[in-house]
Amino acid sequence: MAGFLLGIDYGTGGAKTTIIDTQGRVLGYAFEEYPFITPHPGWSEHDPHLYWEIACRIIRRALEEAGVEPAEIRGVAASSALPSMVMVDEDGEPIHNAYNLLDKRATAQVQWLKENVGEERIFEVTKNRLDDHPTIVNLMWEKENRPDSFRRIHKALTIDGFITLRLTGRYTLHYSGAAFYGVAYNLLERRFDEGILDRIGISADLFPPLHRCEDVIGEVTPQAAEQTGLAAGTPVAAGQVDCNAGWVGAGAIEDGDVQMNLGTCGNFGIVHRQPTFHPAMIAFPYTTDSTSTYITVPTTMTGGQLIRYMRDRFYVAEVVREQEEGRDTYDLMNREAEDVPPGSEGLVVLPFLMGERTPIWDVYARAAIFGLSLNHTRGHVVRAMMESVAYALYDSFRLMKEGGWKMNLPLVANEGGAKSLLWRRIITDTLNVPTVLVKRRTGAPYGDAILAGVAAGVFLDFSVARQWTELVEPMEPDPAHNALYMDYFRLYKSLYEHVKGDYRTLADLRARSLEAVRPQE
């Protein structure tokens, strides 16, 4: 039976959608960025109204490019970068800006949880370490700091859950997203722990009903159809976390499959069916069977975001010319970095623009550039930032390797900055493993479209993803480069150990300086 499928993904910096046919061919694609809102140090937000406005625009653009009739779309699925939180009232309207995964404001709530619930108890239940990013931690912050608006919250949703609400009128939460609510979410039993919720004073009523990623949870409503151009009655799947979407779309469906993204964050994921979890890593259900398959995901907070930061702050004139002449500023940045030798001529970056996740879990960490001298150019800084992401990923990779985790090589490079030949070469040499690149660069919305097909019964299972994936540009690690990078990695680790205590001092000084300039009431 002929037909088409639509996937839509919300990353940390923008949304993209794609339409495929039942043979996996991409027929339509659209992308639109949205801005970060950072009103205070450690805060990172989006305007949630933009999520739906952009959805309506890019879905219509993809439909137009694909040239298909809306009634021919047989299923829709959404994904988003997590953790995220959109707080809505009883009418489904947002309360305040949305949290995105870079937000790090809830440090006091984390400390309270450590002292009153305990990190061991939280890991026992959630299979994840306690961090300041889970949705429940952010709800605790809201309750303590904005109690009046907290009382208006009807449901706390993920970004994709908010889009699914707009599409279907139903409040939903898929298993892969529920893991990012953290603190009280029992990963293996797929439920919220009432005892912990009672202890922290958060009601389970704030959480939507739980579903398998593969479930159809509703249909496109007439109102959503009018706004998006989709047909009313189109089935909508529960959805998935965005990295799952990208990896499913590139054929990661077997135990031990491992893929890497260099999106806003840098990470790699290892698919596994054994309920075994590393205490320093992030774990959540995997889409291919979200009741019994898991993925462990070592993550550095700022992957591609480092290079976007450099583009937006230090290549401003080039960005203007890009818009005028159609040039890609990222290509220029790569060329400048390629002229710099491995090791960036003695320049080392700690890439912690917004704190760090695995394996150091330091909310106070901030970026640093070490060794800067007059001979260094912005190309040196770009390359050093690329190398710093490789060091951050290697810091986790070595722990997984030492732990004997099954990893089917070569490592598959997937989304974001992975398209950079130079960056892949740096990572290949640093991790000292063979790598390949996914030829099709559609990313997470492609995996969402496949999920929509499985949920709607168009595909029997996810095996089509493997059939449709072509891996290209194989690389083997250079032993000499690896030896050099290991020396630099040891320096990278030493630098962090030297300054990590100063990060807290810096945070205190920053808070004091802000207080000093705040207008007196």
pLDDT digits (tens, 9 = 90+) for 200-252: 999 999 999 999 999 999 999 999 999 999 999 999 999 999 999 999 999 99
Cis preceding linkage at 359, omega within 30: yes
The SS3 call for residue 506 is helix
Model pTM score? 0.92
Q: Minimal CA–CA distance to 392: which of 515, 304, 273, 519? A: 304
The SS3 call for residue 116 is helix
What pLDDT, on the 0 to 100 scale, is given for residue 363? 87
Main-chain phi, psi angles of 174, to 5 degrees: -85, 160
Q: What is the CA radius of gyration of the chain?
A: 22
pLDDT, one tens digit per residue, over 340-376 is 999 999 999 999 998 899 999 998 999 999 999 999 9
H helices of 127-193, where?
Answer: 135-145, 147-150, 159-168, 175-178
- Catalogue the E-assigned strands of 407-476: 408-416, 435-438, 471-475
Q: Are 78 and 448 in contact (CB under 8 A)?
A: yes
Cα–Cα distance, 460 to 450 (Å, whole number): 11
What pLDDT, on the 0 to 100 scale, is given for residue 132? 63
> Which residues share a beta bridge with 408?
257
Q: Which residue bears the tokens 């965005």?
A: 242
What pLDDT, on the 0 to 100 scale, is given for residue 446? 97
Distances (CA, A) of 427 to 200, 388, 393, 411: 42, 10, 8, 10
Residue-range domains of the chain with CATH: 4-250+440-473 (3.30.420.40), 300-437+478-517 (3.30.420.40)
What pLDDT, on the 0 to 100 scale, is given for residue 415? 78
Question: Which amino acid is residue 427, in one-letter code?
Answer: I
Report how far apart the first and last C-alpha atoms of the chain are (Å, whole number): 68
What pLDDT, on the 0 to 100 scale, is given for residue 521? 46
* Residue 178, token pair as written in the block: 């529920």
Label residue 91 exposed, middle or buried (CB < 10 Å: 0-12, 13-18, 19+): exposed
Q: Residue 319 region, left (φ>0) first, then alpha (ψ -120 to 50), else beta?
A: alpha
Intervals of the chain under pLDDT 70: 1, 132, 518-521
Main-chain phi, psi angles of 292, to 5 degrees: -145, 5
What pLDDT, on the 0 to 100 scale, is given for residue 518? 67
DSSP label at residue 353: B
Q: Residue 230 region, left (φ>0) first, then alpha (ψ -120 to 50), else beta?
A: beta
